[in-house]
Amino acid sequence: MKLLSLEDTLTAAQEAGVPGIDDLVRQVESLAEAVAESLAQHLNISCRNTSFWDGKVYTTFLPSQPGQKCPAVIDSGDPSGEWEEDRNTEEEGEALSMSIGG
């Protein structure tokens, strides 16, 4: 028996050329975005750019207020990442999303 994570299964389906995989990836991204938005709201922070890229589903989390500290549960998921205010415009945010596969 082989056990694959959801992300490994999506990658395998892409590599195998499964019909409709792009739509399935979008559905997973939508679900991940809903989870990220619920988490962000619960922690009083912001999120954006949920996308499946390089075999993983990623979401960007950032402070919702100047000087806000990064919640430990977010920091533990990306301890080397930067925690800074959103300095991008909406267009730049969309460009970033597209650059990572969104």
Closest by CA to 85, choosing from 50, 102, 101, 61, is 61
Which DSSP state fits 83? -
Q: Is the whole-model pTM more than 0.75? A: yes
For residue 73, the number of C-alpha atoms closer than 13 Å in the C-beta half-sphere is 7
Average pLDDT over residues 18-40: 98
Point out the least confidently predicted range of 3-17, 66-80, 86-100.
86-100
Asked if pLDDT for residue 14 goes beyond 90, the answer is yes
